[in-house]
Amino acid sequence: MIIVETERLVLRNWQEGDRDLFYEINRDEKVMTFFPLRRSHAECDLLFARNRDAITETGLGFYALADRDTDEAYGFCGLSKVDLPGILPEGAVEIGWRLATRYWGNGYVTEAGKRLLLYGHDDLGLRDIYAFAVHDNIRSTAVMRRLEMQYLQGQDFDHPNVPDTHPHLKRHVLFRSTGDIRPTATKQHD
């Protein structure tokens, strides 16, 4: 199931052959620097199945981000419902991503993210799409800025699902893309 394509990428549902990459991106210390846990193989398997099933059932989820020519998965970029009562409106949708480190620095997330924001606004009719990250996660917030998302100043929050044992990961910044502002389509890769 292909969701969208870009010049170099395809965003699609997960396939069995993607499982090792899924393990990698959810267990790598560098990729998971701003997350409080590392998943076991069994936990990754559950998350893999849950995400694949959600995409099949609803069309929303964290899609496999793959090379358009070879179909090799690099990581994920997707649109997913998020439940953060009191922080985001009910039924809110977030854009999120995670790549294996060997694919960092090629502009894949920015390319996929721009296409997904257009897809979310134009095809799915989503007025607002949110993104959030740990305050110190400069790499992710830089992507949000390249996606031309608006930083919602004064709406930083302590993520309720981050345990108190990881206070340095609690504070999050919040960005939003609205249906009124479209990301600029470019062929520039960062």
Tens digit of each residue's pLDDT (9 = 90 or more) over 63-83: 999 999 999 999 999 999 999
What is residue 182's predicted lDDT score, i.e. its pLDDT?
Answer: 59
**Predicted confidence (pLDDT) per residue in 7-24, tens digit:** 999 999 999 999 999 999
Two tokens, residue 159: 């993520």
Question: What is the residue-wise DSSP string for 142-168?
Answer: HHHHHTTPEE-TT--EE-TTS-TT-GG
Does residue 189 lie in a domain region? no
Instruction: Report how far residue 95's alpha carbon sits from residue 102's, in angstroms, rounded to the nearest whole number.
Output: 22
Structural domain harbouring 100: 2-178
Does residue 185 lie in a domain region? no
How many domains in the chain? 1
What is residue 184's predicted lDDT score, i.e. its pLDDT?
Answer: 62
What is residue 188's predicted lDDT score, i.e. its pLDDT?
Answer: 42
Instruction: Report how far residue 57's alpha carbon sits from residue 67's, in angstroms, rounded to the nearest whole number.
Output: 24
Does residue 38 lie in a domain region? yes
What is residue 189's predicted lDDT score, i.e. its pLDDT?
Answer: 43
Instruction: Report how far residue 79's alpha carbon sits from residue 131's, in angstroms, rounded to the nearest whole number.
Output: 10
Does residue 184 lie in a domain region? no
Q: For position 160, which CATH number holds? A: 3.40.630.30
Does residue 186 lie in a domain region? no
Amino acid (one-letter) located at 97: W
**Predicted confidence (pLDDT) per residue in 96-108, tens digit:** 999 999 999 999 9
Does residue 188 lie in a domain region? no
Bigger pLDDT: 184 vs 57: 57
Instruction: Report how far residue 136's alpha carbon sits from residue 41's, in angstroms, rounded to the nearest whole number.
Output: 28
Does residue 187 lie in a domain region? no
Contact 121, 179 (CB under 8 A): yes
Per-residue pLDDT band for 187 (boundaries 50, 70, 90) equals: very low
Does residue 20 lie in a domain region? yes
